[in-house]
Structure 1
């Protein structure tokens, strides 16, 4: 087992066929790659679902590892994303000559410009791209990658073939994690796998990173506690005990639970997040709370959580906010 290289890079898909779960996207792109006639692309969806990996896999299949250095440019949010970059760097790359092909790869007569996290680009920069895309479409294809497609201006979006990347289901994530564990000689317990899927929430990159961190912390035998230690996740039983205390009529019990949570160092916002997942039925990967609630009570709890989350963002004290939430939830459950 080696832990020197990040596993998210080591096991990143090398071609489109290896992309997990996104079947419709893969089938469509495979047909485009067979003809080497690629449209402008727009990949959108939650983090860790394979958008950037797919774009890089396309580039690798079209040009090969050597030609990628000259035919592919990748810009992400770490670069300046204003209008000056579009007018200078992007335009210079898009207008440049294509160059000679490499034997063994399709090497179509165009380059590929990958704009990662394109939803962070300014409106002026996006507007400046419209003319660049039109003027140089014969020699350059654009691939936009974003989390929120609504932040891409319509004139850009309408020029692209759109592909939605969905959060990964637990079964898909389990298959990939078991594959990595087999390659690295890691023993992942079923209970730890379930918690890892819950922590990741459909984000395979987060799941792989958390798994590697757990291996570095506790060795190749990965159990539930190792995942809890590296993920910052509050143990589900702690959330359950807090809800049970809120169901009781004892305020002293509620106060003691909140004091214990803060003493353990659990972040208040994480507690609120997991409280919401326990209260709202059907949250992916999360067991619903055993504390009975009506729909009206659930709605009331969610409203309280939203208000408290805003207060925490504004810098409120974590202990007081959790105590306020717990007391308000208790009042809601006992009085109803």
Structure 2
């Protein structure tokens, strides 16, 4: 018997014995499938009956590192706890590995994420009639579309933009490279900026290949990107402490909560593995692009 068998039995239990609504059943199954995916990408040769408390704890750390909010983590843990209560009820296990695991403290301060409406409001607050506005829209669309770190954004090169296939080549931590899909909306605004604004800037030597430039023709600084985002948040009265990393957290959270595979999100964020085995899972480019198109709100 494997994960799919137990998940299937759990689904029957929720539908027939608990009479849960279709949406509730789907949410519970979604939570358990995420745990299954974590086991697979961690190369753990275990099934639901042999998983340990330590494995569950590692999973919670994993989804936290991906940027999921405390509420999302707590909801996902609740679904997994229900699954193990079911296995205990059916006497397939005699000890619940989730019994001693507490959910994240919902009152503690964790990085904020933005919902889709807030992202739309931030984008709408940008003055597109100015050269800086065109650049800022392209930057923020890229941050949210591809989940980049701010350092990766300001160092993005024209030579690393592959518009024909909808990918960008990103130089991440430790000079590691990865290919990341970029959505249609982000590509549209990057093209507008490059073709209508950037071409009129007097570019300083050494910055000819940088996509995003300041008005003096040099690369933007991290501080400048932070300032742009904070000013936009203030403009729309957003009562959240946000930064460039907020867009990265939002990117990951929206994909995961929309049903995207953990392995794909891990690859796009440029995480090696945060488990002790330090696994790095490489996925097919077409599959990564499909994940963006299926699960990203702006695709």
Q: TM-score, normalised by structure 1?
A: 0.20
Which structure carries more strand by proportion?
A: 1
> Which of the pair has the greater relative contact order for Cα pairs under 8 Å at 6+ separation?
2
